[in-house]
Structure 1
């Protein structure tokens, strides 16, 4: 019974952490079923995302520091969207006033929602990291993973090499979290895989409701290829590395990190 209770508590904390993504997907579904007046659907999505972000900060569900992280992810995601749409990886076929080079501005919030989840879960589950690699290793690795999303269009795709490098670098790293006053730990690499898999499920939901469209979904919706899990896995790793790095810089406590590494 205690294990079941802890599982329910963990699920509840995860659900609260996913508030922004849930609202995002619910809005996609609603605007698909019920056409809203005056503006195009993509424009309404931007307004909904902005209002949601304002409410979360206003209500105290997100801190101003977390808003800064989320804004950074919005810009990073929007830059990736502009490039990928230009290269024909996917498209946004619907009309909208707030589109830049074929990319609706709300699309950056899909990446920001991942950052929102990470920040919320980090605070709610009181996450700590054990044996976290030094920044001189983490920062170049995150940069290389992000740049590969661009470079592989012109050069070889090294995602599998980068994935192997992630396993090597984080082989001894653990994430510690708290549920109901009890501390648990999980291999960091496993947490990457789990988050990436659930984001792939979310991607299927998003494409079903027309958030964006892959070339093979032009005539009719079809399941997103499982190969996309690797892309989302790497994107999750980049997201986690950025959040973790900013958290550690914010703490400005090298001694605290060293204590965790000893533990």
Structure 2
């Protein structure tokens, strides 16, 4: 009976994760399909992805598969990500590029790119609601906000001064080393160190990035001649960016904090 229950819970966990990834999964599917089959003349592939993302978002809202709060997360991420994209893809920086033509864009950035980052924020907001997240030993708001502000700033400044990502990762470890996330799959809450959970999400994003670059959605300079896997070093960037996403979602969603049980008073101890 225990094995059957464990298998059911594992299956349900996968179903809920797939539901949380609905928007990101749709975007990735569109990228893959249009890479190998795109028959629409007069509409650039990048523009089609942009319009498809908007249409899918509207569908999620109309069918109530997404809440208004989650749509706010997507808008915020789109703005934050587009600003960073404009900087990163500028001619003077050139961290990566978008090799295909488009109409809907700003500078070197097609507008669909913001939705790729929004997919991360959408996933976090949805998984937060679906698994009814609770936390213990979660740091104070100002500490987390300061951390992610420095992370976002470092994405820009490391091109001109020393890269502080490893310092920021160390600060993240110190700040969250004792933080646990509790999530409900069926009826019982399970738990995991929050730092481990973030790593698993960052790893998944890195795998999705490999698929996206393989389908020519964007490319890094070392992929211009021929495709190669994205360096594992990018995991650190995705980890920090995912942390930024998580804290932004925490400012919109309510944090449910588990309090430690009160210690037994001296009088009660004597009575026992």
1:118 aligns with 2:124: yes
Question: In structure 1, what is the Cα distance between the partners aligned to 2:74 and 2:112?
Answer: 13
2:190 to 171, 184, 198: 184
Question: In structure 1, what is the Cα distance between the partners aligned to 2:152 and 2:207?
Answer: 21
2:227 to 221, 232, 238: 221
Tell me the SS of whatever aligns to 1:37: coil
Which one has the largest radius of gyration?
2
Tell me by how many angstroms 1:120 deviates. 1.1
1:39 aligns with 2:43: yes
Question: In structure 1, what is the Cα distance between the partners aligned to 2:107 and 2:86?
Answer: 7
Question: In structure 2, what is the Cα distance between the partners aligned to 1:184 and 1:261?
Answer: 16
Tell me the SS of whatever aligns to 2:112: helix
Runs of 4+ in 1 over 6 A off after TM superposition: none
What pairs with 1:77-92 in structure 2 (closer than 5 Å)? 77-86=81-90, 87-92=93-98
Tell me by how many angstroms 1:245 deviates. 2.6
The answer on whether the counterparts of 1:132 and 1:261 sit within 8 Å (CA) in structure 2 is: no
What pairs with 1:1-263 in structure 2 (closer than 5 Å)? 1=3, 2-35=5-38, 36-86=40-90, 87-248=93-254, 257=257, 260-262=258-260
Tell me by how many angstroms 1:182 deviates. 1.1
The answer on whether the counterparts of 2:69 and 2:252 sit within 8 Å (CA) in structure 1 is: no
Question: In structure 2, what is the Cα distance between the partners aligned to 1:44 and 1:107?
Answer: 12
Tell me by how many angstroms 1:96 deviates. 0.7
Tell me by how many angstroms 1:170 deviates. 0.6
Tell me by how many angstroms 1:230 deviates. 0.5
Tell me by how many angstroms 1:144 deviates. 0.5
TM-score, length-scaled by structure 2: 0.91
Tell me the SS of whatever aligns to 1:261: coil
The answer on whether the counterparts of 1:92 and 1:102 sit within 8 Å (CA) in structure 2 is: yes
TM-score, length-scaled by structure 1: 0.94
Question: In structure 2, what is the Cα distance between the partners aligned to 1:221 and 1:233?
Answer: 23
Q: Over residues 25-45 of structure 1, what are the superposed CA-to-partner deviations in whole Å (9 max), with x where a residue is unaligned?
A: 110111111222221111101
Tell me the SS of whatever aligns to 2:190: strand
Aligned residues: 255
Question: In structure 2, what is the Cα distance between the partners aligned to 1:77 and 1:261?
Answer: 35
